[in-house]
Chains A and B, each alone.
Chain A
Amino acid sequence: MNTQLNFECETGNYHTFCPISCVAWLYQKIEDSFFLVIGTKTCGYFLQNALGVMIFAEPRYAMAELEESDISAQLNDFKELKRLCLQIKQNRNPSVIIWIGTCTTEIIKMDLEGLAPRIELDLKIPIVVARANGLDYAFTQGEDTVLAALVHRCTRQNTSSNSTRNKLVLFGSVSNTVANQLTIELQKQNIQIDGWLPSQNYIDLPTLNSNVYVCGINPFLSRTATTLMRRRKCKLIGAPFPIGPDGTRQWIEKICDTFKQKPIHLVEREQQIWAQLQEYCDLVKNKSVFFMGDNLLEISLARFLIRCGMIVNEIGIPYLDKRFQASELQLLKQTCQQMQCSLPRIVEKPDNYNQIQRIHEFQPDLVITGMGLANPLESRGINTKWSVEFTFAQIHGFFNASDILELVTRPLRRNSKIFK
């Protein structure tokens, strides 16, 4: 039996969303923001298709569409962007404008970071630059670039109190409901959350300095974590991510350890959740699952599903930061030992073509994949679940563990119903 984690790397010819899709959830999370995506028709077309109905609801984001004259530097970037930002300021009056750099701005080397401070000074409105381009990043990593850029805008000094008490700031964008739930969960352990990155409003960004402990709640935030440690000397709590009751318990435990609190009723709480999940677990037990990989949640989800009794054939993942995900990988290893199953292979930068060959070979009971491949696989008799749903669903904490299994078992339940 395989007891070491195996990492492989393929060609990177795989399908995922462009990282600019992060504006879809971030503009809703940061309520006083405006996102300006600086790109081409392709970017606009993608946003329009990916975000579907949302674009019609007067969203707080827009495209600055580059034309041939921009590319050939016949127009002045500074003037053009200033004009657009002025228009946004007048029409929407946001607290911050976030520029999303794309592949095109990258290639033509548009100096967004250089232009932003000048326009910021002229218009008296903060402008944050995030390079969420498809050259460097995949899908959810877009959020990572935005949050990393926001770190620079957090204050260093807390003006209200000068206490040297250690503070806790959580980073990662989750819906306010999930944020409340996690807050309550930590309150039960007598731990106070001093801030979130991102906060609900730009003006409420947390204070960050060397007294602050930070902890991530999403596995794709390695850049943000690095920025927090290097630029703000924050102390990172390395923990598995609060996905599934097992992950949530360890996550809380690690935070408790750091703040020298003895966990209260935590084990009981986890067991109580597992008891609730029993029926789902019975359904998935010994079923196999294959992650094609596109949103970086794969390791945490696989770990949780193994704990539920599933067999994982392969974990595809766009990018794996072994340091940021160290605790998560450790927990994956432990879980496999505990469940007495061999460790799955982890494929970084997978090749969709090869993966489909392997899927035909394994015949897994469930493939977690993007929408481009889901229907063709279904038509070949293979159950699939769209991976994007895990990005948009509420999956964090004890409360939402059942929602993950609800998603995972849906294809199994549907197909067992219609084919009888």
Chain B
Amino acid sequence: MGTLRIASSFKNVHAIMHAPLGDDYFNVMRSMLERERDFTPMTTSIVDRHVLARGSQEKVVENILCKDKQEQPDLIVLTPTCTSSILQEDLQNFVNRAILNSKAAILLADVNHYRINELQAADRTLQQIIHFYLKKCSLTSITKTIKPSVNIIGIFTLGFHHQHDCRELKRLFYDLDITINLILPEGLQVQQIHTIPNAWLNIVPYREVGLMTATYLEKKFQMPFIDISPIGLIETSNFIHKICSYLPYNPQIQNYINNHTQFRVQSAWFARSIDCQNLTGKKAIVFGDTTHAIALTKILVREMGIQVLCAGTYCIHDANYFREQLEGFCHEILITEDHTKVANMIARLEPSAIFGTQMERHIGKRLNIPCGVISAPIHIQNFPLGYRPFVGYEGTNQIADLIYNSFTLGMEDHLLEIFGGHDIKEVITKSLATQTVITWSETSLLELKKIPGFVRNRIKRNTEQYAQQNNIRLITLEVMYAAKESLATYI
């Protein structure tokens, strides 16, 4: 999945999955969540009974060559899945054979489905593609850009608010008078890859995806990289300072930061305003990927004075870094991939707000605790149309809103509970005839209960009306359906 996300982020790169029917739901996610207008550049070379019996033989090679002709991509990435991993077919051999006859370059993604997760696969694949195109490049052939420039590594499809974050970063660099050399991999063409080393330094805003590439580039081309996520005021300042340490000294920078934190950005003032006093010492729980969980915890604690009872991540492979970063910021640390453990932890600690993934939002719903979504896995509502970055100065505003709104809703809820709800009078159903002599049979009452609450009363009224018009005293299932049928009119 991570491999596919990387491959489909590049321009004119096609992914071919060696997988059984139905494993290609990635294109559903991309087309639905991102509301993508283009066909997902991905095909499945179907593994079926015949493949099991005789091996893929020519099939994979044929599919590769067919795509090469149909779409004329620059690069084709062949992706194994957990099913094809166990088949232990020599996919590299297929790749080697296909290369002979194809115009496109072909790569086999080096991922093992039983050992790594989606984010690790994405990280690995990105590094693999960059390495593939840069391995022949030598240090001497590089011409650095005249003006300071950076590469942004790790912006890709289905990422949490990646598009907005990318725009915000661009704005930040524009303000700092730094040009952006390339953005990897979103929208990148493979022909551009050889210009990567021309930048002065690399930026890795999310440590889950891009670190491997940045480390590789550092080793090979001595390109420094910055892995601070500029999420929150303090981290954004750190981020800018760190960048500037690689550039010629510019006295304007400190002014720029001060100006922003003190005057331009609402969130800084907001945190000091009287409204935010109410949040002091409130209890929260944070869970998500490493980047966002760490950033949010630090913001809650350092910038808003909120107590974080527990911070956690599902990035098990990066657990040490997570612990190290949040040392002293929270009472407990939870590292798990099991969402029932997270649910139990939330139930035990009873925070007044949760900041987590969609999973935690649903847990929150069950426990009646408000939840702000800060990290993948996410639903379609986390791909907003409006501008909602998490990084940079505008990001701090967005996060402040998110945090504040989660808590106020909670407060409101409690007040309502104390006073017994918005409207404590019992709802009186509007009925047409006050003395209806119509009775409902047992089965039809059961059926009525199955109808969703918000339309149930209307259906009940309509059915009774129908019964009255037709002089029916007892409403049976049949009468119900007949009533529905008589009302089924063209909308």
Q: Contact residues of A with B, CB < 8 Å?
A: 12-13, 15-21, 40-42, 45-46, 48-50, 52-53, 56, 67-68, 71, 103-104, 106-108, 133-139, 176-177, 180-181, 184, 276, 279-280, 318, 353, 356, 370-376, 379, 398-399, 402, 406
Determine the distance from Cα of A353 to Cα of B47 in the docked complex, in whole angstroms.
18
Given A16-B22, A103-B83, A134-B21, also A68-B115 (CB < 8 A): yes
Q: Does B63 interact with chain A (Cβ within 8 Å)?
A: yes
Besides the known contacts A40-B82, A376-B38, A379-B37, 20 further A-B residue pairs in the complex with CB atoms under 8 A apart: A13-B44, A17-B22, A41-B82, A42-B1, A49-B25, A49-B28, A50-B25, A50-B28, A53-B362, A56-B365, A106-B52, A135-B20, A135-B47, A138-B21, A177-B447, A181-B481, A373-B31, A376-B31, A376-B39, A376-B40
Whether the pair A276, B485 counts as a contact (CB closer than 8 A) is yes
Whether the pair A375, B43 counts as a contact (CB closer than 8 A) is no
Per-residue contact bits, chain B 16-32, to A (CB 8 Å; 1 contact, 0 not): 00011111110111111
Interface residues of B in 56-87 (CB under 8 A from A): 63, 70, 81-83, 86-87
Closest A residue to B361 by beta carbon equals A56
Q: Across the interface, which residues of B come within 8 angstroms of A135, CB to CB?
A: 20-21, 47-49, 52, 83
Given A17-B25, A42-B113, A46-B25, also A353-B83 (CB < 8 A): no
Given A49-B25, A134-B20, A135-B49, also A375-B113 (CB < 8 A): no
Closest B residue to A18 by beta carbon equals B22
Determine the distance from Cα of A18 to Cα of B44 in the docked complex, in whole angstroms.
13
Looking at B22, B24, B52, B362, the one whose CB has the most chain A CB atoms below 10 A away is B22
Whether the pair B45, A68 counts as a contact (CB closer than 8 A) is no
Closest B residue to A133 by beta carbon equals B20
Q: Across the interface, which residues of B come within 8 angstroms of A399, CB to CB?
A: 481, 484-485
Q: Across the interface, which residues of A come within 8 angstroms of B63, CB to CB?
A: 13
Q: Does B35 interact with chain A (Cβ within 8 Å)?
A: yes
Per-residue contact bits, chain B 354-376, to A (CB 8 Å; 1 contact, 0 not): 00000100110110000000000
Determine the distance from Cα of A402 to Cα of B28 in the docked complex, in whole angstroms.
28
Determine the distance from Cα of A135 to Cα of B489 in the docked complex, in whole angstroms.
44
Given A18-B22, A42-B81, A136-B49, also A13-B43 (CB < 8 A): yes
Whether the pair A356, B22 counts as a contact (CB closer than 8 A) is no
Q: Range of interface residues on chain B?
A: 35 or more
Determine the distance from Cα of A385 to Cα of B379 in the docked complex, in whole angstroms.
21
Q: Across the interface, which residues of B come within 8 angstroms of A356, CB to CB?
A: 39
Q: Across the interface, which residues of B come within 8 angstroms of A106, CB to CB?
A: 52
Nearest 8 pairs between A and B by C-beta? A18-B22, A134-B20, A372-B27, A379-B37, A56-B362, A279-B490, A68-B114, A40-B82
Determine the distance from Cα of A17 to Cα of B29 in the docked complex, in whole angstroms.
12
Q: Across the interface, which residues of A come within 8 angstroms of B490, CB to CB?
A: 279-280
Looking at A41, A135, A137, A180, the one whose CB has the most chain B CB atoms below 10 A away is A135
Given A13-B63, A133-B20, A373-B39, also A107-B29 (CB < 8 A): no
Q: Across the interface, which residues of A come within 8 angstroms of B49, CB to CB?
A: 135-136
> What is the distance, in angstroms, from A60's C-beta to the closest C-beta of chain B?
15
Give the residue of A108, A134, A371, A376 whose beta carbon is less than 8 angstroms from that of B22.
A134
> What is the distance, in angstroms, from A63's C-beta to the closest C-beta of chain B?
12
Whether the pair A379, B38 counts as a contact (CB closer than 8 A) is yes
Whether the pair B21, A107 counts as a contact (CB closer than 8 A) is no
Whether the pair B83, A104 counts as a contact (CB closer than 8 A) is yes
Determine the distance from Cα of A212 to Cα of B491 in the docked complex, in whole angstroms.
43
Closest B residue to A68 by beta carbon equals B114
Q: Across the interface, which residues of B come within 8 angstroms of A21, CB to CB?
A: 22
> What is the distance, in angstroms, from A174's C-beta to the closest C-beta of chain B?
14
Determine the distance from Cα of A53 to Cα of B363 in the docked complex, in whole angstroms.
11
19 contacts between A and B (CB under 8 A): A15-B44, A19-B22, A40-B114, A42-B83, A42-B113, A48-B377, A49-B29, A68-B114, A133-B20, A134-B21, A136-B49, A138-B21, A177-B447, A180-B447, A184-B478, A276-B485, A276-B489, A318-B21, A372-B30
Q: Across the interface, which residues of A come within 8 angstroms of B20, CB to CB?
A: 18, 103, 133-135
Q: Across the interface, which residues of A come within 8 angstroms of B48, CB to CB?
A: 12, 135-136
Determine the distance from Cα of A319 to Cα of B28 in the docked complex, in whole angstroms.
21
Whether the pair A67, B114 counts as a contact (CB closer than 8 A) is yes
> What is the distance, in angstroms, from A65's C-beta to the closest C-beta of chain B?
10
Closest B residue to A376 by beta carbon equals B39
Q: Across the interface, which residues of A come within 8 angstroms of B13, CB to CB?
A: none
Determine the distance from Cα of A341 to Cα of B93 in the docked complex, in whole angstroms.
50
Q: Does B318 interact with chain A (Cβ within 8 Å)?
A: no
Whether the pair B22, A138 counts as a contact (CB closer than 8 A) is yes
Determine the distance from Cα of A276 to Cα of B491 in the docked complex, in whole angstroms.
12
Q: Across the interface, which residues of B come within 8 angstroms of A68, CB to CB?
A: 114-115
> What is the distance, in angstroms, from A414's C-beta to the closest C-beta of chain B?
12
Give the residue of B45, B447, B491 whose beta carbon is less than 8 angstroms from that of A406.
B491
Determine the distance from Cα of A396 to Cα of B366 in the docked complex, in whole angstroms.
35
> What is the distance, in angstroms, from A132's C-beta to the closest C-beta of chain B?
10
Determine the distance from Cα of A180 to Cα of B38 in the docked complex, in whole angstroms.
43
Determine the distance from Cα of A49 to Cα of B372 in the docked complex, in whole angstroms.
20
Whether the pair A375, B114 counts as a contact (CB closer than 8 A) is no
Whether the pair A184, B114 counts as a contact (CB closer than 8 A) is no
Q: Across the interface, which residues of B come within 8 angstroms of A184, CB to CB?
A: 477-478, 481
Looking at B1, B24, B450, B481, the one whose CB has the most chain A CB atoms below 10 A away is B24
Whether the pair B32, A371 counts as a contact (CB closer than 8 A) is yes
Determine the distance from Cα of A372 to Cα of B8 in the docked complex, in whole angstroms.
14
Given A18-B21, A104-B86, also A375-B37 (CB < 8 A): yes
Determine the distance from Cα of A42 to Cα of B25 in the docked complex, in whole angstroms.
10
Whether the pair A276, B488 counts as a contact (CB closer than 8 A) is yes
Q: Across the interface, which residues of A come within 8 angstroms of B1, CB to CB?
A: 42, 45
Per-residue contact bits, chain B 73-115, to A (CB 8 Å; 1 contact, 0 not): 0000000011100110000000000000000000000000111
Q: Across the interface, which residues of A come within 8 angstroms of B81, CB to CB?
A: 42
> What is the distance, in angstroms, from A226's C-beta to the closest C-beta of chain B?
18
Determine the distance from Cα of A135 to Cα of B21 in the docked complex, in whole angstroms.
6
> What is the distance, in angstroms, from A20's C-beta to the closest C-beta of chain B?
8
Whether the pair B36, A376 counts as a contact (CB closer than 8 A) is yes
Whether the pair B481, A71 counts as a contact (CB closer than 8 A) is no
> What is the distance, in angstroms, from A22's C-beta to the closest C-beta of chain B?
11
Whether the pair B31, A371 counts as a contact (CB closer than 8 A) is yes
Q: Across the interface, which residues of A come within 8 angstroms of B365, CB to CB?
A: 56
Q: Does B296 interact with chain A (Cβ within 8 Å)?
A: no
Q: Across the interface, which residues of B come within 8 angstroms of A16, CB to CB?
A: 21-22
Given A107-B83, A379-B38, A402-B488, also A42-B45 (CB < 8 A): no
Q: Does B46 interact with chain A (Cβ within 8 Å)?
A: yes
Closest A residue to B362 by beta carbon equals A56
> What is the distance, in angstroms, from A128's C-beta to the closest C-beta of chain B?
21
> What is the distance, in angstroms, from A368's C-beta to the closest C-beta of chain B?
15
